Structure 1
Amino acid sequence: MRRVPVPAPRLAASLALFAAAPAAQAAAPVQATLATHWAGYVAVLWFAIAYLFVVAEEFTGLRKSQPVMLAAGAIWAVLAFASSRMGVPEAAHEAVRDYLLEYGELLLFLLAAMTYVNAMSERGLFEALRARLLRRGLGYRALFWTTGALAFCLSPLIDNLTTALVMCAVVLAVGREDTKFVALACINIVVAANAGGAFSPFGDITTLMVWQAGKVPFAAFFALFLPSLANWLVPALCMHAAVPRGAPPASDEVVRLKRGAGVIVALFAITVVLAVGFHQFLHLPPFLGMMTGLALLKLYGWHLARVATAQQKDDFAREGAPGDVDAFDSYEQVARAEWDTLLFFFGVIMCVGALGYCGYLAMLSTSFYGGLGATNANILVGLMSAILDNIPMMVAVLQMAPAMDTGQWLLVTFTAGVGGSLLSIGSAAGVALMGQAHGRYTFFSHLKWSWAVALGYAAGIGVHLLVNARYFTGT
C-alpha cells in the first residue's frame, strides 16, 4: 500500500529532485486559487459522484475501477485547463507525473505479490489446506476458532482478501446447511483477516502504503500484533456462545499438491526477504526486491516447463500419449492478477492527488488533525473507513502528511486496517464474502454483531496506547 501534500513521494524526490522544486513553487499559488475556483469545485463533485458508483458496485455491477479511472482523467483535464489559464501550464503535468511514479511503485509491488499468491493457488496449496481441515472432523465451534485463527495468521503473509476467501470456502464446505454458523464464521473470518493484516506490511494495502512511504520502519509494524489480537479476540469471544453446537460430517477428500508447490512457497519467502532487505539495507524501494523475486518465480516456471516438456515426450514414447505433468506458466499467473483492484488504486491515487493539488487536503489536515488532535483524528479515520473504504482514507492521510510520531502512524495504520470490519461493506474481505456466501452472510447479519466488533476496535486502540507508549514522542 505514501503521500505528501503537494506530490513529492520519496521515489519521485530521488528521481526528479531538480524538476520537483520548480513544480512545487509553481503549484503553491495554484493551490491557493483552485480551492475556491470553479475547477476545484468540479473536481470535488466528480470524485464524489465516482465514489458513489464505487460504493454501489454490489448493486450496479459496475466494476469499481471504472468510475474512478474516468473521474481521474476528467478531473486532471479540468485542472490542467485551469492551471494553464492561470499562467502555470506545467504545474498539473508535474503533479501528475509525480503521482504516476507513486502509483507505479505500488503497482509493481502488488503485481509481484498477487502473482505469487496466484501461483500458490494454482499449485493447489489453498485447496490442500481446505481439504485437510475437512478431514479433521471438527465441530462447529472448533471450526469457528480454527478458521478465525488461520485467517489471523495467514493474512499477514498472503493478504487479508485471499485469506478470507480460502477460509470461507472451508466454512461453506462443512456448514453449507447451517446458515447461522456460516454467518457467524464469516464475520469472525472478516474481523480476523483484517486484524491479522494490520500488523504486517504485506497484510493489507494500507500497511504497505505506510511502509513504502517511510512513515513506519518494517519491524515497528509488529508492535501492532497485540492490538490486532485484541481486535479479533474480543468479538470472537462475544460470538462464541451463539455458534451452534454439534459437528458437520467429516470428509475424506485428499488434494494432491502439484509439482513445485513447496519451491514456490520458498521463493515467496525469499522474495519477502529481498523486499525488506532492499528497503532496510540498500535504501531502495521495496518494489525492486519484489520484482527481483518475481524474476526468480519466472525462472523456476521456465524450469518447470522444460521438465514438463521432457516428461511429456517420454510418456508419449512409452505409452503413446502425454501424461499429466503439471506444467506451469508464470505469465498466466500474472494475467490472473486482480486488475480491477490495481486499476482502482490508480484512479484513487490520481483523484485524491487532484484534491491535494487543489489544496483541499492541506485545508482538511489543518481542521482535522489540528482541530481534533492526532489521536482523535486517527480513531475517526478508522470509523470512516467502514463506510468510505480504508484505501482512499489512507491515501488522503498520507497526502495530508500530518506531523505525527511513529505511535500515531501505527495508530492510523491499525484503525484504517481494522475499522472496515465494523460493517460488511467496509472492507474488501467483507464484500467478497457476501458474494461467496450469498444469502447466508449478509450486511444485516454482520450489522447484528457490529457492537461486538466495535468493542474489539476500542480494545485494540486501548492496547496500542498502553503497550506501545514508547512509540509516542508527542509530535
Structure 2
Amino acid sequence: MQRARDLELNCKDSGEEVELPRLSPKPKAIGARDLSLDVSPTRKSESPDLPFSGAQGNGRLKRTRSELVLRYGFLSVRILVKILGVGLMVGVLAVAVMNWPPWMIEDETRRVNVMSALFAVGLFFTAVEDVVGINKSSIMLVMAAVMWTFLAVGYHPNTSKAGANELHEELNRGLQDVGAVILFLLPAMGVVESIDHFDGFAVVTMAIRRAMRNKKERLMPIMCIFTFFLSSVIDNLTATIVAVKILRNVVGKAEDEEFRKTCGGLVVIAANAGGAFSPIGDVTTTMLWIQMKITAPSTVRWLFLPSFVAGVLPLLGFMWQLRESPESPEKKTHRLAVTQDERGRSSSTDGDKGKEKDSSPEEDDEGLHERFPDDHVQVTKMKVLALVIGIICILIVPALKIGTGLPPYLGMLLGLGLMWLFTDMLPFEALSQQHPEDQHDGPPRGGVVAALKKVDLTGLLFFTGVLLAVG
C-alpha cells in the first residue's frame, strides 16, 4: 500500500500518467464479538442471543417459564386423556374377546356399569373433539362396536342356542331402528345436495338480497325466519349447512366476518328450534315418528309455538343489544362512507328522472353487490325448477306417511329416486360442472351422482354410532 502511494507521488512530480495496479481487498474473518453478540450459549443447540430483547437467534419470540409450563402441561393432559379413553375401550374389548374375568361378564349390574362408563367416555370425547384432536365419528363407531361385543359375550351365543336367538333378536331390533333413520337421512341429504349442485338455492339467495334492500341489519331476521321454516322441511343439520352457504354468498366482505359469524350462531339456534316441531326436522323426532310414538299433526300443533319462541327470542335479544350498544369509530366511518357513496350515486342520477323511475330490482341487487361483493348468479328457469322438484320430493314423505302409512325412509328413497330421474331426463347437465373424463355415451355421471359425493358421510357415521350405542 505504501509502495503505491510513493509511485503516485513520483508520477505527479514527473507529469507522466502511469496506470496504478488494482488492489483487491482481502477477506478478513469477523468474530461474533465484533457484532456485539453473546457467544456464550449454554448448549450447542442454542443460537447466540441478538442484541435486542424479546427474540432468539432463530426469530422466535421468547416464552416465559409459566407459558412453557402451561403448554407442556396441556399437551401432557391431552395425551393422558387419549391414552385413558382409548385404553378403556381397548381393555373392555379385550375382556369381551377373552371372556374373562367371569365376574365382570356374568354379573348384569357390573355389565351395565361398564357399558355406562364406556358411553360416558364416548360423550366426553365428543364434547372435547377439537381439544383432543380425535374425530367424534371414529370414537362413536368404536364405542358402539365395543359395547355390542361386550353385551354379546354375556349371552354366550357359541355355547347356548337360546342365548344366540336372544342376541339375534336384540341385533335385529337395534339394526332396524338405526337402519330406518340412516336410510331416511341419506336420501334426504342427497336431495338437498342435488338442489345445491344444480344451484337451486340461488333463487333463495336472490330473494334474500332483494328483501334486504341494501340494509344489512335486515339480513339477521330474514335468515333466522327462513332457516326456522326450512329446518321443518329438511333436517336441522342440512338446513344449517344451506343457511351458512347462503350467508357466504350474501355477506362476502372481510370486514363483515364478525357479522357473518353472529348470523351463523343465530341460524344454528333457529335451525334447531325449527326442527323440533316437525317430525322430519330432527333426528330425535324422526326416530319417534318412525316408531309411531308421535303423530305429525299433534307434534306440529303442540310444539310450533314453543319452537317459534325459542328461535325468535335470541334474535330479538341480540337485535336489542346491538341497537343499544355504542357504535365503534371504525364502523361509524365505514357507515358514513357508504352513505356518502350512495348519496353521490343518487345525486348523479337526479338529472335523468326517467331512468330513475324505470329502475328495476336488478339494479338494486347490483347496488347490494357493491356492499356485499360476490359473483352475480343468474337465476334461470332450470334453477327454479330444480328447487321446486327438490321441495316436492321432500314433501312427498309426510304425504305418503299420512295417506298410505308408508315408512318415512321409503318415502324419502322414493323422493331421491324421482329427483334423480327428472334431473337425468331434463336438460339439467348444463347447470352441473362436468369434467372432460365424464363425457361419454353411457349414463350421466354428473348431476345427482356428483351431488351424492358431497354428502357428509362423517355425520351419518356419527349418528350410526350414537344410535347403535343407545339401542
TM-score scaled by structure 2? Answer: 0.58
Deviation at 1:268, TM superposition (A): 3.0
Aligned counterparts of 2:289 and 2:368: Cα–Cα separation in 1: 43
Aligned counterparts of 1:177 and 1:306: Cα–Cα separation in 2: 37
Moved more, 241-250 or 290-299: 241-250
Residue type of the alignment partner of 1:74:
V
1:443 aligned residue: none
Aligned counterparts of 1:174 and 1:44: Cα–Cα separation in 2: 46
Deviation at 1:127, TM superposition (A): 4.2
Paired residues of 1:134 and 1:170 also in contact (CA < 8 A): no
1:205 aligned residue: 283
- Whether 2:269 is the aligned partner of 1:191: answer yes
Give the direction of change, closer, same or farther, for the CA distance of 1:307–1:268 in structure 2 (3 Å limit): closer
2:466 aligned residue: 348
Residue type of the alignment partner of 1:221:
T
Deviation at 1:303, TM superposition (A): 1.4
Give the direction of change, closer, same or farther, for the CA distance of 1:101–1:258 in structure 2 (3 Å limit): farther
Moved more, 82-91 or 112-121: 82-91
Give 1:64's match in structure 2, choosing from 100, 120, 136.
136
Residue type of the alignment partner of 2:135:
R
Paired residues of 1:65 and 1:341 also in contact (CA < 8 A): yes
Aligned counterparts of 1:74 and 1:92: Cα–Cα separation in 2: 15
1:271 aligned residue: 393
Aligned counterparts of 2:445 and 2:426: Cα–Cα separation in 1: 6
Aligned counterparts of 1:327 and 1:103: Cα–Cα separation in 2: 30
Deviation at 1:55, TM superposition (A): 1.5
2:319 aligned residue: 240
Give 1:336's match in structure 2, choosing from 441, 447, 454.
454
Give the direction of change, closer, same or farther, for the CA distance of 1:71–1:272 in structure 2 (3 Å limit): same
What is the RMSD computed on CA atoms of the aligned residues? Answer: 3.4
Aligned counterparts of 1:174 and 1:139: Cα–Cα separation in 2: 15
Give the direction of change, closer, same or farther, for the CA distance of 1:287–1:168 in structure 2 (3 Å limit): closer
Aligned counterparts of 1:171 and 1:330: Cα–Cα separation in 2: 24
Give 1:294's match in structure 2, choosing from 405, 410, 416.
416
Aligned counterparts of 1:80 and 1:152: Cα–Cα separation in 2: 42
Paired residue secondary structure (1:265): helix
Segments of 5+ residues of structure 1 without an aligned counterpart are 1-31, 313-320, 354-475
Larger relative contact order (CA 8 Å, sep ≥ 6): 1
Paired residues of 2:274 and 2:307 also in contact (CA < 8 A): yes
The superposition leaves residues 151-192 of structure 1 with CA deviations (integer Å, 9 ceiling, x where unpaired) of 222221233233334434555525642566345433322222
2:238 aligned residue: 162
Residue type of the alignment partner of 1:150:
F
Aligned counterparts of 1:77 and 1:272: Cα–Cα separation in 2: 37
Moved more, 243-252 or 93-102: 243-252
1:124 aligned residue: 199
The superposition leaves residues 261-307 of structure 1 with CA deviations (integer Å, 9 ceiling, x where unpaired) of 33333333433343223322322311111111221112123214797
Matches within 5 A, 1:27-46: 35-37=108-110, 39-46=111-118
Paired residue secondary structure (1:84): coil
Aligned counterparts of 2:148 and 2:404: Cα–Cα separation in 1: 35
Aligned counterparts of 2:166 and 2:405: Cα–Cα separation in 1: 29
Aligned counterparts of 2:205 and 2:274: Cα–Cα separation in 1: 19
Residue type of the alignment partner of 1:235:
P
Residue type of the alignment partner of 1:43:
M
Moved more, 228-237 or 82-91: 82-91
The superposition leaves residues 362-388 of structure 1 with CA deviations (integer Å, 9 ceiling, x where unpaired) of xxxxxxxxxxxxxxxxxxxxxxxxxxx
Give 2:169's match in structure 1, choosing from 90, 94, 101.
94
Aligned counterparts of 1:277 and 1:287: Cα–Cα separation in 2: 13
Deviation at 1:95, TM superposition (A): 0.6
Residue type of the alignment partner of 1:351:
A
1:145 aligned residue: 221
Paired residues of 1:181 and 1:243 also in contact (CA < 8 A): no
Aligned counterparts of 2:253 and 2:320: Cα–Cα separation in 1: 17
Q: Kindly, what percent of the aligned residue pairs are identical?
A: 28
Aligned counterparts of 1:134 and 1:265: Cα–Cα separation in 2: 18
Give the direction of change, closer, same or farther, for the CA distance of 1:307–1:336 in structure 2 (3 Å limit): closer
2:55 aligned residue: none
Give 1:112's match in structure 2, choosing from 159, 183, 187.
187
Paired residues of 2:200 and 2:386 also in contact (CA < 8 A): no
Moved more, 272-281 or 109-118: 272-281
Moved more, 152-161 or 126-135: 126-135
Deviation at 1:122, TM superposition (A): 0.9
Give the direction of change, closer, same or farther, for the CA distance of 1:277–1:148 in structure 2 (3 Å limit): closer
The superposition leaves residues 7-26 of structure 1 with CA deviations (integer Å, 9 ceiling, x where unpaired) of xxxxxxxxxxxxxxxxxxxx
Paired residue secondary structure (1:251): helix
2:14 aligned residue: none
Paired residue secondary structure (1:256): coil
1:452 aligned residue: none
The superposition leaves residues 312-355 of structure 1 with CA deviations (integer Å, 9 ceiling, x where unpaired) of 9xxxxxxxx99xxx9843222223222112111221111112xx
Give the direction of change, closer, same or farther, for the CA distance of 1:305–1:72 in structure 2 (3 Å limit): farther
Aligned counterparts of 2:253 and 2:428: Cα–Cα separation in 1: 42
Q: Which protein is richer in helix relative to its size?
A: 1
Aligned counterparts of 2:469 and 2:116: Cα–Cα separation in 1: 9
1:406 aligned residue: none
Give the direction of change, closer, same or farther, for the CA distance of 1:295–1:67 in structure 2 (3 Å limit): same
Give the direction of change, closer, same or farther, for the CA distance of 1:131–1:59 in structure 2 (3 Å limit): farther
Give the direction of change, closer, same or farther, for the CA distance of 1:181–1:212 in structure 2 (3 Å limit): same
Aligned counterparts of 2:398 and 2:193: Cα–Cα separation in 1: 21
Paired residue secondary structure (1:177): helix
Paired residues of 2:428 and 2:447 also in contact (CA < 8 A): no
Aligned counterparts of 2:429 and 2:222: Cα–Cα separation in 1: 38
Aligned counterparts of 1:163 and 1:204: Cα–Cα separation in 2: 10
2:25 aligned residue: none
Deviation at 1:231, TM superposition (A): 1.4
Deviation at 1:62, TM superposition (A): 2.7
Paired residue secondary structure (1:83): coil
Matches within 5 A, 1:353-368: 353=471
Aligned counterparts of 1:264 and 1:251: Cα–Cα separation in 2: 25
